[in-house]
Amino acid sequence: MIGFLGLAGVVLIALKLLGIIDWSWVWVTCPLWAGVILMILAGIFNSLLVEIAKYADKKEKENEKKGL
């Protein structure tokens, strides 16, 4: 089964090969690699949130030890 980005990629490639659009190949293939980039960015964002939560938990435990 093909998703939205895959279908958009196939359509844009067909339009480019038929000469209907005169875009750069970078933009024509954008739907094919955009999903990968979005997943990488989501992973980075998720990792940052996990690290922030760990830091906040560590600080909270330190404050409990100090009696604050």
**What's the pTM?**
0.62
- Alpha-carbon gap, residue 37 to 16, rounded angstroms: 23
Confidence of residue 7 (pLDDT cuts 50, 70, 90): very high
DSSP string, 9-58: HHHHHHHHHTTS----HHHHSHHHHHHHHHHHHHHHHHHHHHHHHHHHHH
Structure confidence at residue 66 (pLDDT): 82
Confidence of residue 47 (pLDDT cuts 50, 70, 90): very high
Structure confidence at residue 67 (pLDDT): 74
Structure confidence at residue 1 (pLDDT): 75
- Of 32, 2, 31, 27, nearest to 16 by C-alpha is 27
Is 70 exceeded by the pLDDT of residue 68? no
